[in-house]
Amino acid sequence: MTGMPKIREIQPKDDAQMKKILKFCLEEADLALPGTAYFDPQIGELAEYYAHTTRAKYFVAVADTDDDQVLGGCGIGPVADFEDICELQKLYLTPAARGQGLSKRLLAKSIAAAKAFGYERMYVVTDTKLPIANKLYQAQGFTRLPHALADDPHDGCDTWYIKDI
């Protein structure tokens, strides 16, 4: 991996790599559990899922020298019963892509997309088993919530944040 990775919208050719990255990251953190993204039905077809979900978008980071080498990704989607809140979803990176500011770049891209869709706040679900993710969200101005928003499908996670965007 030389140079600065590129960020672009997910394409169907990226689905298998993104599923592998997501599963690896959750297995690594002992979070391959029901109620986490590990068991989301759409993880094998993220491109189609986000293309057909209203006010949603998913981005992948790819190597600057190889548009087919996915290094990670994240996206946004609607939160049931909240017109003004989106959820930051599935922010995962390969081990080799970590520690280079890529999560911040993906988050910034997601916030820009959320604003373009008219969202005013961003919600994120994570877990205490992901301390680096928690540090990222806190450093980026997210405020910890005492509980999940209503109807959150990820009841296997134990930490929630929200941020005005």
Residues 90-110 have a mean pLDDT of 96
pLDDT for the residue numbered 150: 80
Structure confidence at residue 6 (pLDDT): 96
* Average pLDDT score, the chain: 95
Element (DSSP H or E) covering residue 137: helix 131-139
Judged against a pLDDT cut of 50, whether residue 68 lies above it is answered with: yes
pLDDT of residue 2: 59
Where are the alpha helices (H) located in 4-130, listed in sequence order? Answer: 15-28, 46-51, 102-116
User: What type of residue sits at position 44?
Assistant: G
Mean pLDDT across the stretch 149-160? 88
pLDDT tens for residues 115-130?
999 999 999 999 999 9
Domain segments of the chain as ranges = 3-164
Q: Encode pLDDT of 128-142 as tens digits.
A: 999 999 999 999 999
Quick one: what percent of the chain has pLDDT higher than 90?
90
Q: Is the pLDDT of residue 63 over 70?
A: yes
**What average pLDDT does this structure show over 68-85?**
96
Q: What CA–CA distance (Å, rounded) separates 154 from 38?
A: 10
How would residue 50 be classed by pLDDT, with cut points 50, 70 and 90? very high
Residue 151: which region, alpha, beta or left (left: phi > 0; alpha: psi -120 to 50)?
left
Return the pLDDT at 1: 47
- pLDDT band of residue 100 (cuts 50, 70, 90) is very high
Select from 79, 74, 78, 88 the least CA-distant residue to 55. Answer: 78
Q: Which CATH architecture has domain 3-164?
A: 3-Layer(aba) Sandwich (3.40)
Instruction: Supply the pTM of this predicted model.
Output: 0.95
What values do phi and psi take at 92, rounded to 5?
-140, 140
